[in-house]
Structure 1
Amino acid sequence: MEGYAKIAAFMGEHPESAMVLRFSDISLQNILYLQAEIYGLLEDLRFIEKQNNASLAEDVGQFPLDWYTLAHTPEDGKENKQWATIKQLRPLLKEYNEAVLNFHEMSKLARPRSPDLQALQEWLRRPTLGGIYLTGRDRHIWAQGTDLTLVAAETSSNQFAIWLESTLVPIFHQTGALVRSCLLRKRSPRNRQVDAGIAEYSDAGVTRMANLVGAVLASLLPVIAIVVLHLVKSTGTRLGLIAVFSAVFSTTLWFLNDGKLIEVFSATSAFAAVQVVFIGTNG
């Protein structure tokens, strides 16, 4: 297995590496060309309609009121210009609408994370891994790494899991600590032809570790805040600490909860209220 077939097999085994070009610039350029073409035909149609509406011919005067007359009244022995222009617009409008909707859907697709792009580049470059050097005009697509989109959905559930996966996993892999961990288990290569020399760790294991850290922080932060507020007697200092603890809590929650602002705001308000109540009852 070589070339494109090997790249496709690798991407199939590692969905986070299944990244392709969006072609954003040429897609938008095509949309703009279609828009210009449709706009020009629309102006022609409005001009023809204005002329026909002012016509004294009985059949032509019925064009705005009767579709059948519009579609079946010839002009100089052939199809009249108004109906011909409408028929010319139809496929262009269909193509334009599809192009806009397709671009909109493409824009929703996630962009590849930098570590995943670097991993694919490394796999393509190293002879002991993929060792694939395309020779066609597309040979620099992944080396440039711009305007790419993921074909598969992202697997990491939150920002902390992404950070853990991209930062700590490589460190732990080098030290060997992660292999012995009960949370993350090293998986055997599934396809020896494309996975030889690759150490792969379970996404579920990374998510479990992120969730564990989140649960521990969720338990400790309120307790730490209450203990510190209990030890501090100055009301002004306590109010300042409430602001600090609330900021730390909201930042941590945002990081662990994928940045969902409404949930962060609600939880932080409740957390701050608990601290204020504690001060009020233990002043």
Structure 2
Amino acid sequence: MKGYNKIAALMGKYPESAIVSQFSDLNIQNILYLQAELIQLRKDLRELEDANDRSLEPAKASFSRNWYELSSAEETNGSDEQWKLVLLVRAKLKEYNEAVLLWSQISKLPPPNPNDLKNLQEWMRRPAMGNIRLTGNDRNIWAEEKDLISVRSQISDNKVFRILADTLTPLYHASFGRYHKYAPNTVHYSDSAIFRIASFLGVVLASMLPVTAIVVLYRVAVMSTRLGLVGAFTAMFSGCLWFMTDGRLIEVFSATSAASCVFDDGDEGA
């Protein structure tokens, strides 16, 4: 395989490498052109409607009150002109609405992860890997790093996951991982596996923090110190919740309130 089919094979096998241009300027320009066309069509339609309303011909004058008369107008004397314009507006509206909705979905796609983009660039550049040199006008699309999106949404915005994926995984690869190749000259790290590790760490911390707080409070005799520790553990819990989960602010507040009750119970038990 060479060229585009080799790139497509890589992106199909490793979805995180499916990085393409979103053509923001062209998409918006197309929407603006469609908008301008619709504005002109609307102006023409309103003028024709007003003219037909004032017409001395009973058939034309009834168009604004009788859809059947409008849609079944015969082509004699141009009496079907308004209906043709309505159909043209309908088709153009469909095209415009589809363009807006598609762009709204495309614009929500995340930018590529810097490591994924770097890996794609390296794969294309290195002779032992992709060794691809495109020669067309698109040859610098990934090198310029402008207006790019990742076709596959990120598996999680969890901060622990991002640290493991973006910082610790490259360090591991530089130290040990590069020697464990699953394909010739290629090492692949699964996002789902990294996410499971991040979830496991979150579960362990969530289990240990309340128990640790209760044990510490049990061993403290001074009430003022206990109250300070309750506040400290509560703040620590809310910080960990924000850092290790994707929860909304209201969910963080709710969980923190429940945790403070647990810490208070541990304090009273002591």
CA contact (8 A) 2:128 2:185 kept: yes
CA–CA distance in structure 2, aligned partners of residues 84 and 112 of structure 1: 46
TM-score (normalised: structure 2) = 0.86
Q: Answer yes or no: is 1:188 the counterpart of 2:182.
A: yes
Label 1:267 to 1:134 Cα distance change in 2 as closer, same or farther (>3 A). Answer: same
Output one character per residue of 1:223-270: Cα deviation in whole Å (capped at 9) or x when no partner. 232344345555555444434333322232233222444443322221
Identity, % of aligned pairs?
A: 47
Output one character per residue of 1:30-77: Cα deviation in whole Å (capped at 9) or x when no partner. 112211211221122122222322333211221112223223446873
CA contact (8 A) 1:49 1:82 kept: yes
Q: Deviation at 1:18?
A: 0.7
Q: Answer yes or no: is 1:276 the counterpart of 2:264.
A: yes
Match of 1:265 in 2: 253
Match of 2:99 in 1: 99
CA–CA distance in structure 2, aligned partners of residues 42 and 232 of structure 1: 77
CA–CA distance in structure 2, aligned partners of residues 39 and 240 of structure 1: 66
Label 1:136 to 1:235 Cα distance change in 2 as closer, same or farther (>3 A). Answer: farther
CA–CA distance in structure 2, aligned partners of residues 135 and 240 of structure 1: 66
CA-based RMSD of the aligned residues comes to 2.7
Match of 2:213 among 225, 228, 234: 225
CA–CA distance in structure 2, aligned partners of residues 93 and 56 of structure 1: 31
Match of 1:198 in 2: 186
Unaligned runs of 5+ residues in structure 1 are: 181-185, 190-195
Alignment partner of 1:201: what SS?
A: coil
CA contact (8 A) 2:53 2:61 kept: yes
CA contact (8 A) 2:11 2:17 kept: yes
Unaligned runs of 5+ residues in structure 2 are: none
Runs of 4+ in 1 over 6 A off after TM superposition: none
Task: Please say which of residues 29-38 and 243-252 is displaced more in the overlay.
Answer: 243-252
Q: Answer yes or no: is 1:163 the counterpart of 2:159.
A: no
TM-score (normalised: structure 1) = 0.83
